[in-house]
Amino acid sequence: MVHRSMSRRRFAAGASLAALTLGGSLSRALAAWPGSLRILCSGPAGSIPDIVARRYAQALTGRLATTVIVDNRVGAAGQLAVAALRNASADGSTLLLAQAAVATVYPSLYARLAYDPALDLKPVSAAAEATLGFAIGSAVPADVTTLRGFIEWSRRHPERANVASPGIGTLPHLFSAALAHEAQVDWQHVAYPGGPAAMVDLIGGRTAALVLPEGLLRQHHVAGKLRVLATSGAMRSSYLPDVASIAEQGFPGLVMREWFAFFMPGAAPAASAEAAASAITQCAADGAVQTALAEAGMAAVASTPAATVARIAAEQVFWQGVLRATGIRAES
C-alpha cells in the first residue's frame, strides 16, 4: 500500500516538474529529435496493440522522425515490452505502445513487479480506446444467445465453463473476473499470449468464451463463427448494434473501455515527452489514422503527458478496488 501511494505522488510530482521545466524547449526538442524512432509494442502481429502501433508509426514518419519501426516484444502481458523500454536509451529514440494496465493495474495486481511504473515509465500520451466484447464459440450450444444464458449454462456445466483472455492482468481478464464476481459464477481463466491465438481456439471450440476488444470480434460475429453476447460500454456499440451492452444486461458497474498509451523510459526528458505527445496529437486527428482504427473498433485519442499522468493515477485507485473485490493476485 505504501509503494502504491508513493507511486501516485511521484506521478503527480512528475507532471508538475514537466510543467516547470519545459519553457521554450518544445521546438528545440523536436529539432534535435533522433532520425530513427522505434516503437516497442506489447502485442503480437494482428493484435490490437500491434494495429495501433503500426498506424501511428505510419503517421509519425515525417512528423517526429524520418524512420519509424515497430518492434513487437510479446510476453508476460506486456511486461517484456516494458523491460525492453527500461533497457532503451532515454534520448527519445524509443517509445512503448502498450495497454495502460502496465501502469494502472499491474502495481496492484502483481506481488512482485520487475519495474516501478513511477520510475521506469514516463507517460507520453493516450493513443486509442476500445470497448470490449464478451464472445462465445462453438463449444457452447447454439441455444445460448444471451449473457445471462451463458451464465446459467456455466452453472450447469462448470467443467466446461472457461473464459479466455490475451493474458493475466489484461483488461479482458479483469473484466471477465469482475463479471464472474458480480454474477456469482465460477469460470476457469485461460490466458493466451495475445488475442489472435485466443481467437483461434475460441472458434475451434477449445475454449468456451473470450473477452477481447470488440474490433477483433466483429468480423467473426457477423460471419457466424462466434457470438458476441455483450459489449462493455454504457450504451450499445455502433459497430455491433444488435448486441446488448453490459449495462443493459444488469451489470451497470462493469462499464469500461480499454485504452492504450505511449510511454518513454523514465529518465527521458520532459521536453521529449511533450514533443512526442504533440506529434501523437496531430496523428490522432489525422483522418487516415481515425479511419484505420475505427475499422478495428477503436477510437484514436491523444493527451498531454500531464493529462496521461493524471488519468493513470486515478485509475490506479479504481483498479485497487476491483482487485480487492475479485481477489485476483499474480505472483510475477
CATH code, domain with 96: 3.40.190.150
* Domain assignment of residue 331, yes or no: no
Write down which residue in 254, 285, 303 finishes a domain: 254
Whether residues 84 and 226 fall in one domain: no
Count CA atoms within 13 Å of residue 68 on its CB side: 22
Whether residues 84 and 175 fall in one domain: no
Q: For residues 205 and 15, give the distance between their C-alpha atoms in angstroms, rounded to a whole number.
A: 48
The predicted model scores a pTM of 0.80
Whether residues 72 and 191 fall in one domain: no
Whether residues 164 and 231 fall in one domain: yes
pLDDT top residue among 137 and 238: 137
Whether residues 249 and 283 fall in one domain: no
**Core vs surface per residue 290-308: b (16+ CB within 10 A) or e:** bebbeebbbebbbbbbbeb
Q: pLDDT for 211-223, tens place per residue?
A: 998 988 999 999 9
Whether residues 247 and 263 fall in one domain: no
Q: pLDDT for 304-332, tens place per residue?
A: 999 999 999 999 998 898 888 888 887 66
Whether residues 243 and 181 fall in one domain: yes
Cα-based torsion angle of the residue sequence 143, 146, 150, 153 in order, rounded to the nearest 10 degrees: -40
Whether residues 49 and 116 fall in one domain: yes
Whether residues 14 and 126 fall in one domain: yes
Which domain, by its residues, includes 47? Answer: 2-130+258-326
Write down which residue in 223, 254, 285 finishes a domain: 254
Query: E strands of the chain, at which residues?
Result: 36-41, 67-72, 94-99, 121-136, 162-165, 188-191, 209-213, 227-231, 257-265, 298-300
Q: pLDDT for 15-40, tens place per residue?
A: 444 444 444 455 554 544 668 999 99
Give the total number of structural domains in the chain.
Answer: 2
